[in-house]
Amino acid sequence: MPAPLPEDSLAYALSLAAEAIAAVIAGRSLDAALAECWRGHGPLPAAVRGAIQDLAYGALRRYGRGDYFLEKLLHAPLRETRLRALLLAALYRLSQRPEDSHTTVDQAVAAAAVIRHGKYKALANALLRHYLRRRAELEAAADAQSSALHQHPDWWIALLRDSYPTEWPALLAAGNERPTMSLRVNRRRSDVDATLRELTDQGIAARVLGDNAIMLEQPLPVARLPGFAEGCVSVQDWGAQQAAPLLAAQDGMRVLDACAAPGGKSAHLLELADIDLLSLDVDAGRAARISENLKRLGLTAQVGVADCRRLDLWWDGRPFQRVLADVPCSASGVVRRHPDSKWLRRASDLVGFAATQAEILDALWRVLAPDGKMLYCTCSLFPQENAQQLAAFAQRHHDAVLLQTGAAGSSADKYWQLLPQREHDGFFYALLCKHGSP
């Protein structure tokens, strides 16, 4: 029986990262896989957790490339998923720390020793050393293969290329980057200038992005953020922060956030106006996070658990003056935060997402008051979930008037497609007004 790996060793981090990666390969989300990892291995020091997360996220961002290398280095497909995941993590670290290649190989072999009683130690050692000997050749070959070069599935690459003939290489590159960390300042408890001063005083480099937004030069744990525990700031991407100002809810309005968890947009709506807000989500566990976030920020809303399409389960018949429809989607605009999604998704999934989105839009249109406004929002880049979805909705609902979103800084186009870049993720916004009397 192999000795347990030291908790502070690279081998330990590689081993636990491999557990999470193997779970993703089996079909689980990375968030769920890491949560299971933390539960299964007890409290871990922040540095150890950070190392595990870096290896897991990094290996999945580069999965297309790592998988290509394994295909070229192995004589037959590798059936042991845990070993495959370990090798993907090791190949990722070799790409990031070439000067530390000897340590990476040594520690990966040590991690392989705890899989099937050490049966694969020799294979792990031979494969990784073979990669190092052939690195230049393999890297050049990978650059000639689409999914290995762009580190996205071929169907994803083709769809972006068709939809964005000029921008598609940059969009794929953005999906492989480490995400930035932005803060939303709770204007009821602080302001941007005061928050920026507090960050600077603590040696945290940051810059202002907008009226209530600050971007950190380097991400850091929320426990280190001044004012976070006191509800002065929240972590929210600048792109996501555009929803509440676009909806422009006014004091006294009845407002619905129909797919609200974990509550960032609900909180922002409440920070900007005194409204009667119903925050709804279909998942009870995720809905609980809405209440937790609102409590930290000193805000109040009615939180409900229901499928927003089933009006009979939650709607009391009173119309809403504003509705936020932040619908389920492919999350193709935030893939750098969820690198597992590009490998778990299939092209056929877009049909299902589009059908669900259409059902949600049709249901929520019924609860919107005459002359009320509904903001349709996705974190997707795919037209099937965005412009095409809105065009089909307009054909079904002739009382829908599409309003311009240019006030938030977009072009004159009535649809606002935010493409991912360093300062923000990718989002789509469309603002609709319900014209006329009932």
Question: Is a pLDDT exceeding 50 seen at residue 298?
Answer: yes
The mean pLDDT value for 22-27 works out to: 96
Backbone torsions φ then ψ of 161, nearest 5 degrees: -65, -40
pTM: 0.93
Is 175 within the bounds of a domain?
no
Q: What is the mean pLDDT of the chain?
A: 95
Token duo for residue 138: 């393999």
Measuring CA to CA, how many Å separate 423 from each of 90, 179, 347?
Answer: 30, 9, 28
Reported confidence tier of residue 37, pLDDT bands at 50, 70, 90: very high
CATH of residue 330's domain is 3.40.50.150
**Residues 157-198: pLDDT tens digits?**
999 999 999 999 999 999 999 999 999 999 999 999 999 999
SS3 230: coil
Is 170 within the bounds of a domain?
no
SS3 299: coil
Question: Is a pLDDT exceeding 90 seen at residue 409?
Answer: no
DSSP state letters, 147-174: HHHH-S-HHHHHHHHHH-TTTHHHHHHH
DSSP state letters, 92-131: HHHHH-GGGHHHHHHHHHHHHTTSGGGTTHHHHHHHHHHH
Do 352 and 317 sit in the same domain of this protein?
yes
Catalytic annotation present for 329 = no
Q: What percent of the chain has pLDDT over 70?
A: 97
Is 127 within the bounds of a domain?
yes
* CA distance linking residue 136 with residue 116, whole number of Å: 32
Is 167 within the bounds of a domain?
no
**Residues 45-70: pLDDT tens digits?**
989 999 999 999 999 999 999 999 99
Question: Is a pLDDT exceeding 80 seen at residue 100?
Answer: yes
pLDDT given for residue 3 in this prediction:
67
Q: What percent of the chain has pLDDT over 90?
A: 92
Is 3 within the bounds of a domain?
no
Do 199 and 260 sit in the same domain of this protein?
no
Question: How many structural domains does the chain have?
Answer: 3
Q: Given 259, 377, 379, 433, which residue is catalytic? A: 379
Do 42 and 133 sit in the same domain of this protein?
yes
Residue 203 burial by Cβ neighbours in a 10 Å radius (0-12, 13-18, 19+): exposed
Question: Is a pLDDT exceeding 80 seen at residue 421?
Answer: yes
* CA distance linking residue 71 with residue 73, whole number of Å: 6
Reported confidence tier of residue 413, pLDDT bands at 50, 70, 90: low
Contact 11, 5 (CB under 8 A): yes
Lowest mean pLDDT among 259-273, 288-302, 348-362, 406-420: 406-420
Range of the domain at 127: 10-146
Do 252 and 375 sit in the same domain of this protein?
yes
Choosing from 206, 235, 264, the residue where a domain stops is 235
Please write down the HEC assignment for all residues of 11-62. Answer: HHHHHHHHHHHHHHHCCCCHHHHHHHHHHHHCCCCHHHHHHHHHHHHHHHHC
The mean pLDDT value for 199-226 works out to: 94
Is 55 within the bounds of a domain?
yes
Question: Is a pLDDT exceeding 80 seen at residue 223?
Answer: yes
Question: Is a pLDDT exceeding 70 seen at residue 24?
Answer: yes
Q: Amino acid identity, residue 60? A: L
Question: Is a pLDDT exceeding 70 seen at residue 403?
Answer: yes
* CA distance linking residue 327 with residue 305, whole number of Å: 15
* CA distance linking residue 62 with residue 142, whole number of Å: 12
Do 217 and 140 sit in the same domain of this protein?
no
Containing 313, the helix (H) or strand (E) segment is: helix 311-314
The mean pLDDT value for 232-238 works out to: 97
pLDDT given for residue 42 in this prediction:
82
Token duo for residue 60: 């999945």
**Region of residue 285 (left: phi > 0; alpha: psi -120 to 50; beta: else):** alpha
Closest CA to 324 of 415, 403, 254, 235: 254
**Residues 250-291: pLDDT tens digits?**
999 999 999 999 999 999 999 999 999 999 999 999 999 999
- Directed axis angle between helix 81-96 and helix 10-25, to 10°? 120
pLDDT given for residue 438 in this prediction:
43
Contacting residues for 355 by C-beta, under 8 A, at least 6 apart = none
Contact 21, 56 (CB under 8 A): yes
Reported confidence tier of residue 2, pLDDT bands at 50, 70, 90: low
pLDDT given for residue 406 in this prediction:
56
pLDDT given for residue 76 in this prediction:
86
DSSP 274: -
Question: Is a pLDDT exceeding 90 seen at residue 414?
Answer: no
* CA distance linking residue 52 with residue 20, whole number of Å: 9
Backbone torsions φ then ψ of 397, nearest 5 degrees: -130, 95
Question: Is a pLDDT exceeding 80 seen at residue 381?
Answer: yes
